[in-house]
Amino acid sequence: MEGLLDHSLRDVITQVGGVDRCVSEFIRITDQLLPERVFTRIVPELLNGGRTAAGVPVRPQLLGSDPDCLADNAARLATLGPEGVDLNFGCPAKTVNRHRGGAVLLDEPELVFRIVRAVRRAVPAQLPVSAKMRLGTSDSSRLLANAQAIVDGGADELVVHARTKAHGYRPPAYWEQIAEVRTAVPIPVVANGEVWTAADAERCLAVSGCDAIMLGRGIVADPGLALALRGQRWSGWPALLPLLSRYWQRVALHVEPRHRPGRLKQWLNLLRRRFDAAQAAYESVRTLTTVDQVDAWLLAETEAQRLLYRAATPSQVSSGDGSSRSASQLAR
């Protein structure tokens, strides 16, 4: 999710918990060997043992169409200590596809094979190589051919987004077609696409036959979704407000001031799918254009939350049914 789910948001979401592994936004490979600083700029977790501050491994993702150039860059990336290398055959963006990257490569299963094989041969045998693909470009007629090409190239894992390039992100996702891949290939297959709730995840796993899910927009809209899939509860908006502040502070380290408010608005726009309070927050922030304005809004929101918590009393409050619960329990 280029331009939103970068290392700043990975940091925040993995603080909530429940995530086993992250995949970075794509690193575009064209016709040159990138310097190490490009990899560490996009995936600064490489400077922390390849993990977020919460200890969750991050697998950098490469995007391109030149097998040899991708292999050279994968070899350099491998020297930086990543948890693995991921290959992008799923991006539907027109700009990316015009430059022969992402999902458009699914029209050429032989090229997909050569890319995976070149990268697999270029990195140490113990380093996992994974790939993400869609069902196809305009249709899914080459679905199994591409999946087999990825397997034959030596990939250790395959993520399938259950839509074609032409579908974009329009619902529904066709999870039943992931099941075709799952039964046809011997490597682990991970399901992806249109999972917004724990109930969606249950249906996706049942229909696809997979035992793992990759979350995209769903976990951005609900950072507690991974916990929910594990049957764990999260306090939601009250716990999210400090994370909004953490995100804002991290964005300040690498985004120009004039673009920072837009980043926060992007996230709040998705959060309002899940949280009623996020709708009001989005409306408050929508017209803000400067860093100082957002700083003032966050300070006011934090103070309001603190006062609300104090009003619930620091000890016990009546629940109205003859029992009592602590303020922290009420917050849930």
DSSP 230-283: TT-----HHHHHHHHHHHHHHHTTTS-GGGHHHHHHHHHHHHTTT-HHHHHHHH
- Closest of 235, 171, 179, 256 to residue 211, by C-alpha: 179
The residue among 10, 41, 59, 2 whose CA lies nearest residue 247 is 10
What is the pLDDT at residue 317?
Answer: 39
Please list the residue range(s) of the chain that carry CATH number 3.20.20.70: 20-214
20-31 average pLDDT score: 96
The predicted-structure confidence for 97-110, as pLDDT tens digits, reads as follows 988 999 999 999 99
In the numeric block, which tokens belong to residue 114? Answer: 């050569």
| DSSP-based three-state secondary structure for 36 | helix
Mean pLDDT of 80-85: 97
With a cut of 80, say whether residue 253 has pLDDT above it. Answer: yes
pLDDT tens digits for 281-332?
A: 999 999 999 999 999 999 998 888 777 666 664 544 333 333 333 222 223 2
Quick one: average pLDDT of 246-254? 95
| Catalytic residue of the set 69, 91, 204, 210 | 91
The domain made up of 237-331 has a fold known as: Bacteriocin As-48; Chain A (1.20.225)
pTM metric for this prediction: 0.90
Please report, as a single letter, which amino acid is at residue 259.
H
* pLDDT > 90 fraction of the chain, expressed in percent and rounded: 85
User: How high is the pLDDT of residue 238?
Assistant: 85
Catalytic annotation on 91? yes
Q: Which of 174, 156, 158 is closest to 166 using CA atoms?
A: 174
Mean pLDDT confidence for 170-174: 97
Is 220:269 a contact under the CB 8 Å cutoff?
Answer: no
Q: Per DSSP, what are the bridge partners of residue 190? A: 159
Q: What is the pLDDT of residue 318?
A: 37
* Rounded Cα gap, residues 113 and 20, in angstroms: 27
pLDDT score, position 237: 86
For the chain, give every residue range classified as CATH 1.20.225.30. 237-331
Higher-pLDDT residue of 277 and 322 is: 277
| pLDDT classification of 36: cutoffs 50, 70, 90 | very high
- Tens of pLDDT, residue by residue over 46-68, are 999 999 999 999 999 999 999 99
Q: Which class is 20-214 in CATH?
A: alpha beta
